[in-house]
Amino acid sequence: MIRFLHTADWQIGTQFGQFEPDEAAHLAQARLDTVRRIADEAAARKVDAVLVAGDVFDLQTVSDTVIRRLFSALQGFSGPWIMLPGNHDAALVESVWTRAQRLNCIAPNVRVVLEPGVVLLDASRAALLCAPLTQRITYDDTTGFFDTAETPPGYHRIGLAHGSVSGILQEGIDSSNPIAPARAASARLDYLALGDWHGHLRVDERTWYAGTHEQDRFRANEPGFVLDVTLDQPGASPRVEAVRVGQYQWHRWDETISVPTDVEALQARLRALGDRDVLRVSVNGAAALADAEALHVALEEARARVRALRVDLSGLQVLPTADDLAELGAQSGYLAKVVERLRGLQEDPQADPQQVKRAAEALLLLARFQRELPREARSA
């Protein structure tokens, strides 16, 4: 019997440039922290090995410090780590892996597989058929040799590869690094451990993607897990348990505001978020000025609670009501003309989208300035 953790797509060194610098730093650190959590899980579960199916690093050019930190994060598990280069960290002649070797930071229990071949784990009677990527993009199936690879009698045959199972994955990503959908069967594998798809996914009984350990995209494809795999004997069906290790949950909300209760509902959803959430929210529709202000406050309060937040209000029209104008002292005079002009820009179908966005922002800014004045000083 062999029991191992299957993980992939750590992409250590990801920059998260879409977020503010302090948010990006936390998200980048979480990827290392979750590797430590994987090491702790491996030790607690007393597995025989950890298999990492490619894209350990996000870039070949990560700093030496990042390389050292990654290998330091593995120390919690003293058993074998088998690491496979993927498309982001391919085993080039000069690569992140050759730099790691020169830094002498790869512990003896960590095996980086830089060439296709078979790695034996004799203590567990397991043969790992490994297909590292030696270039970022290939149009050949690097697992083809699995079919004819010889392994010792009575050993588990476990494949380890990085790429797209043809005809299975979404969004047209099957164009490079293809893997035959029947490879587990044709190569007589007990289990095929894959990387590249960032959510954990069962392709068939013996073929699985582990997904990234720490969510990094606004896509609901079940990231943030490792797979705990047990093979009782060669030929037996694998037993696979998904184990959550990720710290953060990423959410993408596309909201439409039509009536005041829509704002109230969004405020309630925002209040339910905490420091383990990453949110991207786009708001469309139209709201009265007071409602738009309340929504803006709710978003800024959420920003202080969540780990990271991206907001797009460019599709939200701010349309002051008579009550809004009365509250601001803008029922007549120059200020009323400014408000009317800004409102007209938002309602003009021929207006530049950037002008529409700036008009809504200007109304909110104007309202804030007016509310900061004493009531008797608000101009009419």
Digit-coded pLDDT (tens) for 126-137: 999 999 999 998
DSSP string, 161-193: EESEETTTSSTTGGGSSEE-TTHHHHTT-SEEE
Range with lowest mean pLDDT among 40-44, 121-125, 337-341: 337-341
What is the predicted pLDDT for the residue at 380?
A: 45
pLDDT tens, residue by residue, 234-275: 999 999 999 999 999 999 999 999 999 999 999 999 999 999
Average pLDDT, the chain: 89
Whether pLDDT at 291 is above 50: yes
Total Cβ atoms within 10 A of residue 344: 11
Give the pairing of strands 178-179 and 117-121. unpaired
Structural contact between residues 283 and 252, judged by C-beta atoms closer than 8 angstroms: no
Structural contact between residues 196 and 84, judged by C-beta atoms closer than 8 angstroms: no
User: Which residue type occupies 87?
Assistant: N
What is the predicted pLDDT for the residue at 290?
A: 84
Smallest Cα–Cα separation from 212: which of 238, 186, 248, 180?
Answer: 248
Alpha carbon distance 24, 44 (integer Å):
30
Range with lowest mean pLDDT among 138-142, 198-202, 338-342: 338-342
What is the predicted pLDDT for the residue at 134?
A: 95
- Could you say which DSSP state residue 6 is in? E
Bridge partners of residue 324, in order along the sequence: none
Q: How far is the CA of 103 from the CAs of 67, 93, 98, 111, 367, in angstroms?
A: 9, 16, 9, 15, 58
For residue 244, count CB atoms less than 10 angstroms from its CB and return exposed for 0-12, middle for 13-18, buried for 19 or more: middle
Range with lowest mean pLDDT among 52-56, 97-101, 288-292, 320-324: 320-324
Tokens read off for 167: 């005809």
Angle at Cα 151 formed by Cα 147 and Cα 154, nearest 5°? 120
Phi, psi angles (nearest 5°) of residue 124: -105, 5
pLDDT tens, residue by residue, 20-78: 999 999 999 999 999 999 999 999 999 999 999 999 999 999 999 999 999 999 999 99
What is the predicted pLDDT for the residue at 347?
A: 66
Comparison of pLDDT for 220 and 225, the residue scoring more: 225
Rounded to two decimals, what is the model's pTM?
A: 0.86
Q: Domains of the chain, with CATH numbers?
A: 2-244 (3.60.21.10), 249-377 (no CATH)
The distance of Cα 296 from the centroid of its chain, to the nearest Å, equals: 26
Whether pLDDT at 174 is above 50: no
List CB contacts of 373: < 8 A, sequence separation 6 or more.
none
pLDDT tens, residue by residue, 68-116: 999 999 999 999 999 999 999 999 999 999 999 999 999 999 999 999 9
What is the predicted pLDDT for the residue at 379?
A: 52
- Residue 193: pLDDT band with limits 50, 70, 90: very high
What is the predicted pLDDT for the residue at 97?
A: 98
Give the torsion sign (CA, 185, 187, 189, 191): negative
